[in-house]
Amino acid sequence: MKETLETKNIGLRGVKVADTRISDVDGEKGNLIYRGLNICDLVTYSTFEEVSFLLLHDHLPKAEELKKFQLELVSEREVPETVYGFMRMMPKSAHPMDILEAAVPILAAYDPQLHDESRDANFRKATRLIAKLPNVVAAWDRIRKEKEPVRPDPKLSHAGNFLYMLSGFRPDQDTARDFDICLILHAEHSFNASTFAGREVASTHAHFYASIVAAIGALSGEIHGGANSEVMKMLVEVGEVNRVKSWVSEKLQKGGKVMGMGHAVYHTEDPRASILRGICSRLADRTEDRKWFELTKAIEASTQEEFRKLKGKEIYPNVDFYSASVYHMMKIPTDLFTPVFAISRISGWAAHVIEEKFAEAQPKPELYRPDADYVGNYCGPGACPYIPIEERSK
Ligand SMILES: CC(C)(COP(=O)(O)OP(=O)(O)OC[C@H]1O[C@@H](n2cnc3c(N)ncnc32)[C@H](O)[C@@H]1OP(=O)(O)O)[C@@H](O)C(=O)NCCC(=O)NCCS
């Protein structure tokens, strides 16, 4: 019999399932690199458009390559009217992540290259979705508030244009740049749950859009991408810095979780959280409202102190912790935080789906097909007798 490895009930932690050329997370040192480049350099020198090119093409673009890519992104920002029509028929209470997930197959139906499985066509599909998802997220927020969607402004950057389509007002340069940095920070993180979901679907030879639908579904969970909006709910619930200590202590003693704290891979500070802490502080100064920054900082400190007492170990903020107050101060509605994560992570997902489809980091494409032990009813090798419905007692 073929030997299997015992890796049950550990959520695949530490189990290597593939090679990748896209990014690396050093959980011990707290480093994150995209295609060999440190995230700290990327947020200093790059833009989301350039980082998306880097993730997709494995190298930084030359000036003319970047210009061409930016123009392609701008020219693909519009979505078919059907997308707005579908939104107008949906109940206003529908969750923005569900709307986003449902809009992707509509976009698929309008893609002239949907069934073209060439590498080039997959890059085109990636560009289209990177360009269009911000429009979908912004339009849903406006339609549910009975406002007209705002048409994209080709003069604005990817980040600036999203904030504009959401509010109808062109953002100031500092806010647009801070949001651009947020998009860079959320764009890629190796084999996280949503990326793995997308890659698994790609491994079945399903089309590009089907993989992205799976990734969006996985991202929506509260212990993955859903954590950022849960952090905001927590900040609102705690309300005041002087309530932090007792709130955190009670939460942890009852076995609850402080959202935005802890990470499956980082055992030191997540480098993205350090950068976001800085943005949060800057925004607090600019908006002249330090409440959310101070509250977040106080929860971080109290959680660390209480965690040391209770578990004798350290815990650190993850990418979601400071991004909640950052987005709140940018006037992004709380239930849009996770869709905002998706409009950034689409670049990483796209790179992974293409890597999976074209076996760019392994010898050949392979269908993911793990194994499980059957622990259900068993009546012997011949299976259980089928009892006709009229003879079943209960
Ligand atoms: C992300 C997460 C799922 C990682 O969990 P993990 O891989 O089990 O992390 P660890 O193995 O380091 O957890 C060790 C212990 O700390 C606890 N812990 C981890 N994060 C915690 C948190 N935010 N609040 C309270 N306790 C936490 C775990 O429950 C575990 O307790 P146990 O030893 O009594 O079972 C977890 O930290 C979490 O749920 N965080 C909150 C949700 C969140 O912010 N998610 C976004 C991630 S980017």
Per the annotation, the verdict on 263 as an active-site residue is yes
Give yes or no for a contact between 188 and 351, defined as CB atoms under 8 angstroms apart: yes
Give yes or no for a contact between 285 and 174, defined as CB atoms under 8 angstroms apart: no
Tens-digit pLDDT profile for residues 186-209? 999 999 999 999 999 999 999 999
Per the annotation, the verdict on 320 as an active-site residue is yes
Counting ligand 1 atoms within 8 A of each CB, the residue from 315, 338, 344 with the most, and so the one to mutate, is: 315
Is the per-residue pLDDT at 1 higher than 60?
Answer: no
With bands split at pLDDT 50, 70 and 90, how would you rate the model's confidence at 5? confident
Q: How far is the CA of 261 from the centre of ligand 1 (A)?
A: 7
- For tokens 């802490």, the residue is 277
Task: Using the atom order of ligand 1, give the atom closest to the CA of residue 11.
Answer: 7
- Give the model's pLDDT for residue 342: 98
- Give the model's pLDDT for residue 7: 87
Among the listed residues 57, 95, 224, 267, the single catalytic one is: 224
Q: How far is the CA of 47 from the centre of ligand 1 (A)?
A: 31
Q: Is 262 near ligand 1, meaning CB less than 6 Å away?
A: yes
Take atom 18 of ligand 1 and give the residue whose Cα is closest.
262
Q: How far is the CA of 339 from the centre of ligand 1 (A)?
A: 23
- For tokens 């458009």, the residue is 49
DSSP 235-285: HHHH-SGGGHHHHHHHHHHTT---TTB--SS-SS--HHHHHHHHHHHHHHH
Mean pLDDT of 117-142: 98
Closest by Cα among 190, 192, 211 to 19 = 190
- Give the model's pLDDT for residue 14: 87
Task: Using the atom order of ligand 1, give the atom closest to the CA of residue 270.
Answer: 48
Give yes or no for a contact between 217 and 197, defined as CB atoms under 8 angstroms apart: yes
How far apart CA 51 and CA 22 sit, in angstroms, is 12
Name the β-bridge partners of 23: 34
Mean pLDDT of 93-102: 98
Q: Is 234 near ligand 1, meaning CB less than 6 Å away?
A: no
How far apart CA 209 and CA 113 sit, in angstroms, is 11
Mean pLDDT of 149-162: 98
114 in helix, strand or coil? coil
Number of H helices, E strands in the chain: 16, 3
- Which backbone phi and psi does 76 adopt, to 5 degrees? -105, 10
Among the listed residues 158, 186, 263, 352, the single catalytic one is: 263
Q: How far is the CA of 191 from the centre of ligand 1 (A)?
A: 18
Tens-digit pLDDT profile for residues 292-307? 999 999 999 999 999 9
- Which backbone phi and psi does 348 adopt, to 5 degrees? -65, -45
Can you give the pTM of this predicted structure? 0.95
Give yes or no for a contact between 108 and 207, defined as CB atoms under 8 angstroms apart: yes
DSSP 227-242: HHHHHHHHHHHH-SGG
Per the annotation, the verdict on 19 as an active-site residue is no
CB atoms within 10 A of CB 12: 14
- Give the model's pLDDT for residue 393: 84
- Give the model's pLDDT for residue 54: 98
Take atom 29 of ligand 1 and give the residue whose Cα is closest.
257
Take atom 5 of ligand 1 and give the residue whose Cα is closest.
264
Q: Is 318 near ligand 1, meaning CB less than 6 Å away?
A: yes
Q: Is 263 near ligand 1, meaning CB less than 6 Å away?
A: yes
168's CB contacts (< 8 A; 6+ apart) are 142, 147, 150
